[in-house]
Amino acid sequence: MLDYALLEAVAAVVRTGSFDRAAQEIGVTPSAISQRVKLLEERLGTGLIIRGQPCTATPAGKRLCRHAEEVGLMEHHLRGELGGLLGSGPAPTVRIAVNADSLATWFLLALSGLEGCLFDLVIEDESNTADWLKRGEVSAAVSIASGPFQGCGSRPLGAQIYVATASPAFMRRWFADGVTEEALGQAPCLTFNIKDTFQDRWLAETFGQPIRRPSHWVPSTGGFVDGTLVGLGWGMNPLSLVRSHLEQGTLVEMRPDSPLVVPLYWHWSRAVEKGLKDITASILRTARERLEQK
């Protein structure tokens, strides 16, 4: 039988990245956190924490943290079913993998009305978020992968619409003769990170072939919009983020007839399906309101 006070200490260290911050979160001394982690490691006969800056979990530590999250969600759901019979308890922390553009446009709204849970959001490219769920490192994920995956539930959310945008001055400088393949090979674009393929996907879908192009690297959703506004480069932005700029004329849609449609899906671990019931309902409801539906 696991000692959940010890397990809570391990999970807090992994979640916060340090023994000091874990101590502040739980309300004990760093020495007490260290003793609890060491005691659980001795009982299990294996290391759970890789000491460093930040501290991270070993494979065994990751699995135990996942177990702690599952137990917390199950108890949270049970308290809801039994009313006050179980008394109050600590709010469970739910770890979710989500892409930066969803976070910036609709996802936080879905979480805002939920009470009784804390959220640990892992920011990852939408093409890789599902891998976090498959590895058991999160309880749920927003992904472009349709699924379903083994041991997981899956529901379609709708589609995020992206448009190729640039400032009027940028258009005059680089695309005076039109948005041609030759001009796109010279005009700098914006790329979020090495996993970001949206610019290449749009070019391939619009022009029927890949186009080599120079790029600035801007790993920020807000920075992407700002970068296009100031004329740093052109980029694929969520329509919901730039609609007002397009209406005001501070941004221009480079090819109005060629949006990039990116379907999104909500995946969750069936091990905590009941505990995620309210979260899933809110995610699906908000997605219906904020994303493009077929």
CATH of the domain at 209: 3.40.190.10
**What does the H/E/C string look like for 279-292?**
HHHHHHHHHHHHCE
Q: Which of the residue ranges 74-78, 94-98, 103-107, 286-290 would you say has the lowest mean pLDDT?
A: 74-78
Q: What is the dihedral of CA 280, 286, 292, 294, to 10 degrees?
A: 50
| Token digits of residue 127 | 């093409």
Residue 242 lies in a domain: yes
Nearest to 93 by CA among 208, 172, 16, 196: 16
CA 2 from chain centre, in angstroms, equals: 31
Residue 256 reports pLDDT greater than 90? yes
Residue 250 lies in a domain: yes
Confirm if 116 and 276 have CB atoms less than 8 A apart: no
Residue 234 lies in a domain: yes
Residue 117 lies in a domain: no
Report the sign of the C-alpha dihedral through residues 43, 44, 48, 50, in that order.
positive
Over residues 78-101, the mean pLDDT reads: 74
Confirm if 189 and 234 have CB atoms less than 8 A apart: yes
| Token digits of residue 242 | 């730039």
Q: What is the mean pLDDT of the chain?
A: 91
Q: Which of the residue ranges 88-97, 145-154, 162-171, 200-209 would you say has the lowest mean pLDDT?
A: 88-97
Rounded to two decimals, what is the model's pTM?
0.81
Residue 43 lies in a domain: no
Confirm if 166 and 251 have CB atoms less than 8 A apart: yes
How far is CA 46 from each of CA 34, 57, 58, 150, rounded to the nearest angstrom?
15, 12, 9, 28
Confirm if 102 and 76 have CB atoms less than 8 A apart: no
Confirm if 63 and 89 have CB atoms less than 8 A apart: no
pLDDT tens per residue across span 276-289: 999 999 999 999 99
Residue 84 reports pLDDT greater than 80? no
Q: What is the DSSP letter of 234?
A: B
Domain containing 250: what range?
160-262
Structural domains counted in the chain: 1
